[in-house]
Amino acid sequence: MTGVTEVATELSAKRLEILKDAVPNLKKVAILFNAADLGMTLRSRAVEAAAKVLNVSVQSFGVREPNDFGNAFVEMTRSPPDGILMVSDTLTVLNRKQVMEFASNKRLPVIYEFSFLVRDGGLMSYGPNLPETGRRLGDLVVRILLGARAADLPLEQPTHFEFVVNLQTAKTLGLEIPPALLARADEVIE
C-alpha cells in the first residue's frame, strides 16, 4: 500500500490542545464528527483521550446526515460547550456553513482540520498542508505510471503542518487570541 496519510487521529489531540490554548477557560468541548465513518469515530476518541489529560469534559455529537446537525445544535444549546472541535470529512465539510453560523450565533470558538475552512470564516485550523499533500500524491502516481510497483512505494506522512487563525472571526466571537498562540500561526487572516 502506498499513499500519504493525514495522521489525522494523532493530530486530533493537538487540535484540542490548541483550542485550550486559545480559550484557557475551556472546560467542556463538543466534538462534531461523522458517526457513520470509523475513521472519524477514531479521531473523536483521540480527542476524548486528550481531553482527560487536559481536564476538559467532552460532548460527542456523531452526525450521519445533514439533518442531524440541527439535533446536535439543539443539544449544544441546552448544554453549551466552551468550544467545538469539528472532525472534517465530506459530511461535516459540506455542512460547514451550518456549523460556522451556529458557532457565530452562540459565540463559540471552533477548531477545524483544514485551513480552507478558516478562509471560509472558521476561527482556526491545524493540519497538514493540503497542496503539499496533493503534490506528494501526484509524485507517487507518476512513479506508478512510470512502472514502479505500488507495493514497493512507502506510505508517507505529511512533513508540513499549518496553523491558521482568522482574527476577523475571533473579533466576531469576542475572543482575544493570546499573542503567544498567534506567534505560532503560519497564517493570520486579518
Q: Per residue of the chain (190 residues), give pLDDT as tens.
A: 567 666 667 788 899 999 999 999 999 999 999 998 878 888 888 888 889 999 999 999 999 999 999 999 999 999 999 999 999 899 999 999 999 999 999 999 999 999 999 999 999 999 887 778 778 878 888 888 999 888 888 877 777 789 999 999 999 999 999 999 999 999 999 9
Cell representation of residue 9: 487521529
0.75 exceeded by pTM? yes
With residue 83 as reference, give the H or E element that holds it: strand 83-86
Positive or negative: CA dihedral 19, 20, 21, 25: positive
What pLDDT does 31 receive? 94
Residue type, 16: L
What pLDDT does 109 receive? 98
CATH numbers and ranges of domains, the chain? 3-127+162-176 (3.40.50.2300)
What pLDDT does 62 receive? 94
Rounded to 5 degrees, φ, ψ at 99 are: -65, -45
Helices (H), ranges, 56-129: 68-78, 90-94, 96-106, 115-119
What pLDDT does 156 receive? 74
Assess contact for 6 and 133: CB atoms under 8 A: yes
What pLDDT does 1 receive? 52
Taking residue 18's Cβ as centre, other Cβ atoms within 10 Å add up to 21
Degrees to nearest 5, angle at CA 160 with 49 and 169: 70
